[in-house]
Amino acid sequence: MSISRKTLGAAAALLILAAGACDTRWRAYGDANSIIAVMAPELWEEVQEDVYAALEPTIRTVRDEKTFTVTYQDPRGEHWGNLRRFRLLFMAGRPGDPWVAEALERTGTEVSGPGLYDLEDVWAIGQTVKLVILPEEGGADEIRRHLPEIQRALDEQFRAYAAQRMFVSGVDSALADTLAVEGGFRLLLPKVYTWERHDSVFIFRNDNPDPSELIRQITVTWKSPIPQGMQAEDILAWRQEIADRYFSEPQVMVLDDAVARPFEYRGNYAYEIQAQWQNPPDRDWPAAGPFITRAIICENQNRMYLVDAWLYAPGKEKYEYMIQLQTILDSFRCGAA
């Protein structure tokens, strides 16, 4: 008896359906910074503006960019069967609500009353569910009370995810040792970064997959002895001098929305400026992006370091890349005296 290709295809489809009926714990899908909000429609009408304000904060890159995106889903709606397998869920309801009862049953979670509960791998592997159990009466205030905590937890989770993705190629510990010998400082970078040295200027670059689509660049240099009385404008002038001499394309800084702060970095005085760069007006093609520059004083070396990072990612969301650049900057260490 011969079996046709059509018969084989039908059999395969039946096997897939049967497997799905037996085990719905598939791999979670969706972007790591996309949140599905799940609750009764009348409650959502009451709290949606608070949820958007708390869970969709913005950062300034070349524009105001949401760090997370929230999408509402009615748990009684037709798309709930698919969306409940999303990577991030924010759910609210009472223990007797069907979507809440199912989540508690699947995870074996017992609730002691209203509050915030963390559930994992409820309808899919790799899933995070932030569940707010509501009191018998009302519930909007209970949701509002937990929104700041939910935002902090999801942001910390996303930052860990972004750093893990950046180092999927491995940490270049050999390069860190080389920098300690040749430059007198340490920096942890993924192995995909290339680097070059020009006297006391070290440049690290990742332009994969194509420099027309994505560039991440780090620069480290220093002044010794430590200059006195350096102000924010002096740090920016220093950065501009390095950019003019060593960057592959000229940059001018746009400071309209700049954010600056002094801070303590591992026991050392530091100053950070975040702003935008763009190509000069006379260039053939427009380009722009965010940058972070830090001046860090290392007293034991009698050096002031300039540690700078900039990003070029046209048409892409930039929050994940900014986290990656901050992670690299945070790995900087002063050398020995």
CA 81 vs CA 30, 75, 101: distances in Å: 14, 9, 15
Cβ atoms of 296 and 334 closer than 8 Å: yes
Q: What's the chain's Rg over C-alpha atoms?
A: 25
Q: What one-character DSSP code corresponds to residue 134?
A: P
Instruction: Give the pLDDT score at 80.
Output: 94
CA 260 to chain centre: 21
Give pTM, 2 decimals.
0.83
Helices (H), 23-121: 41-55, 80-83, 98-107
Tokens of 236: 């920016």
Tokens of 135: 């009191």
Each residue of 239-263: pLDDT tens digit? 999 999 999 888 999 998 899 999 9
Cα–Cα distance measured from residue 329 to residue 198, given in angstroms and rounded to the nearest whole number: 20
Instruction: Give the pLDDT score at 5.
Output: 32
Helix axes 140-166, 319-330, angle to 10 degrees: 60
Angle among Cα 61, 63, 67 to the nearest 5 degrees reads: 65
Neighbouring C-beta atoms of residue 24, cutoff 10 Å:
13
Each residue of 76-96: pLDDT tens digit? 999 999 999 999 999 999 999
Domains by residue range for the chain, with CATH:
17-165 (3.30.379), 170-334 (3.40.1000.10)
Amino acid letter at 312? Answer: Y
CA 298 vs CA 122, 293, 303: distances in Å: 49, 16, 5
Amino acid letter at 40? Answer: A
Instruction: Give the pLDDT score at 48.
Output: 98
- Please name which of 318, 320, 263 lies closest in space to residue 294, comparing C-alpha atoms: 263
Instruction: Give the pLDDT score at 25.
Output: 65
Instruction: Give the pLDDT score at 284.
Output: 73
Cα–Cα distance measured from residue 120 to residue 82, given in angstroms and rounded to the nearest whole number: 17
Q: What one-character DSSP code corresponds to residue 167?
A: G
Q: Which ranges of the chain have pLDDT less than 70?
A: 1-25
